[in-house]
Amino acid sequence: MKYQTHNETEVDTNMSHLQGYITADYEELVDAFGPPMRYGFDDYKVDAEWHISFADGSVASIYNWKNGRNSMGTQGMDVQDIREWHVGGFSKITLFRVAEVLNKQTVKAAA
> What is the pLDDT at residue 42?
62
| 19-23, 39-43, 67-71, 100-104, range with the lowest pLDDT | 39-43
Domain coordinates of the chain in residue numbers?
3-109
Question: Rounded to whole angstroms, how far apart are CA atoms 29 and 32?
Answer: 5
* Contacts of 15 by beta carbon, 8 Å cutoff, 6+ apart: 90
The pLDDT-based confidence of 63 (bands split at 50, 70, 90) is very high
Long-range Cβ pairs for the range 69-75 (8 Å, 24+): 70/43, 70/44, 70/45, 70/46, 71/44, 71/45, 71/46, 71/47
* Contacts of 30 by beta carbon, 8 Å cutoff, 6+ apart: 36
Question: Rounded to whole angstroms, how far apart are CA atoms 51 and 76?
Answer: 23
pTM for the full predicted model: 0.92
Of the candidates 100, 74, 99, 105, the residue with the CA atom closest to the CA atom of residue 20: 99
66-99: pLDDT as tens digits: 999 888 889 989 999 999 999 999 999 999 999 9
What does the DSSP 8-state code read for residue 36? P
At residue 26, does pLDDT exceed 70?
Answer: yes
